[in-house]
Structure 1
């Protein structure tokens, strides 16, 4: 396996690695890479690097246990457990596979618990983003602008659909996959609405957004306030 050679040659001090990605699942394409979560006992800092090895594109996420915990926590707090999903669903390689498998079991348990309920801050942030974009869609616009707005709306609306139903969210190509798993009918409606928006017809997407906002308090504009951190300041003029 290419991943085992990568581990031996590029990360000889690693105690194990977990191989993940679409190639491993049998879903790879010509542009698919191999994801490699590499564990050390201790590191000064975690890092990510991308490279080719024997013509295979590799994306390596290099951690010790503490840095891995930190990044997994960050992902999960944001509702997109990318790293935990790699760990739980991958294949362990390297000298200490028993420890790798224990780590995988822990990641799987955390995934199965699902995301924390939406906090008021996250919920209202999504409501505000969606409301702002939907209001832009209500105006008469060229089809190109409708497509651009719909593209920007996709992520926050999908986040509300998934996290609002107690399901993990994701990014990019994972959003439609996760929506199908959560509710195939909803996923189809969302896809149809986006395709129509791509043709310059926004009515279905507006209606779907309104339906998704309703259980969470509806649209949000008036009353929304975000306070900057006290140290968000710098002296001088913008032109300097």
Structure 2
């Protein structure tokens, strides 16, 4: 393949059900803004062929080492674009940070995304490394992290049960934090990847279909019926997996 060809000329054949119109748009953006790119991967809903009219483009771009690693958001042809820009030298550290944070954002983009440019084979190597790290799983919680999570979830669960049904703002806030901390602890217990936003329920159900569904259903019950009992019960079941609720006796060293 000609290393001097433009990104549009180096468009690879689709490997997924990607939206070809969005893939072409991503290639135009690369041609305009990053003609020096060493590689690029289209991620998110566009790569899966599930983009909505307002969906943004998630685009991971490999840059030469003399460039700067950064995250950048812009608008291109009327569509928001989120750019994950990493130099070739910085990419391994970005992957390791993903593993420590247990979310795997960049790892999943490289694993599941659609390669658009790869004239030197760097994207293929990065995808192979991403798959190795995803298969190995996220970094486990240290004992102190796990105990703190037990304590924090216990506090949120107690706050949820202690909030009056007519205190809806407080009740909903307590339910949100209970769900998030329970998801954090449950995915860690299973050595599974977690997520934020729309990815939280997806990762939660993948880690534990039964207890994950109980947490999500309980959260919905609080929202729709102001009843905290199912969510609190599901949170307590998560706590029982890791030693039970933690209240008195907890010590956090600074």
The TM-score normalised by the length of structure 1 is 0.88
Once structures 1 and 2 are overlaid, which stretch shifts more, 166-175 or 219-228? 219-228
1:54 aligns to 2:77 (yes or no): yes
Structure 1 partner of 2:236 = 210
Shift of 1:30: 2.3
What does the per-residue CA deviation read over 1:162-197, in whole Å, with 9 as the maximum and x for residues that have no partner?
Answer: 121121111111111122223333232122211112
Structure 1 partner of 2:57 = 34
Structure 2 partner of 1:68 = 91
For residues 95 and 151 of structure 2, the distance between their equivalents in structure 1, rounded to whole angstroms, comes to 27
SS of the residue corresponding to residue 110 of structure 1 reads: helix
Shift of 1:97: 5.6
1:196 aligns to 2:221 (yes or no): yes
What does the per-residue CA deviation read over 1:19-53, in whole Å, with 9 as the maximum and x for residues that have no partner?
Answer: 11112212212221111111112045311111122
Shift of 1:140: 4.3
**Distance verdict in 2 for CA 1:181–1:215, change over 3 Å:** closer
1:105 aligns to 2:128 (yes or no): yes
1:157 aligns to 2:176 (yes or no): no
Note the residue ranges of structure 1 that are not aligned, 5 or more in a row: 229-240
Structure 1 partner of 2:3 = none
For residues 128 and 119 of structure 1, the distance between their equivalents in structure 2, rounded to whole angstroms, comes to 14
Please say if residues 60 and 109 of structure 2, whose CA atoms lie closer than 8 Å, have aligned partners that are also in contact: yes
Structure 2 partner of 1:224 = 250
Once structures 1 and 2 are overlaid, which stretch shifts more, 81-90 or 183-192? 183-192
Aligned residues: 228
Q: Which runs of 4+ in 1 moved over 6 A?
A: none
**Distance verdict in 2 for CA 1:183–1:226, change over 3 Å:** closer
The TM-score normalised by the length of structure 2 is 0.83
Please say if residues 43 and 63 of structure 1, whose CA atoms lie closer than 8 Å, have aligned partners that are also in contact: no
**Distance verdict in 2 for CA 1:132–1:29, change over 3 Å:** same
Aligned alpha-carbon RMSD (Å): 1.8
1:122 aligns to 2:129 (yes or no): no
Note the residue ranges of structure 2 that are not aligned, 5 or more in a row: 1-23
Please say if residues 27 and 116 of structure 2, whose CA atoms lie closer than 8 Å, have aligned partners that are also in contact: yes
**Distance verdict in 2 for CA 1:95–1:108, change over 3 Å:** closer
Structure 1 partner of 2:111 = 88
**Distance verdict in 2 for CA 1:144–1:103, change over 3 Å:** same
**Distance verdict in 2 for CA 1:150–1:140, change over 3 Å:** closer
What does the per-residue CA deviation read over 1:66-120, in whole Å, with 9 as the maximum and x for residues that have no partner?
Answer: 3222222122112111111111111222252622112111101110111233321
SS of the residue corresponding to residue 35 of structure 2 reads: coil
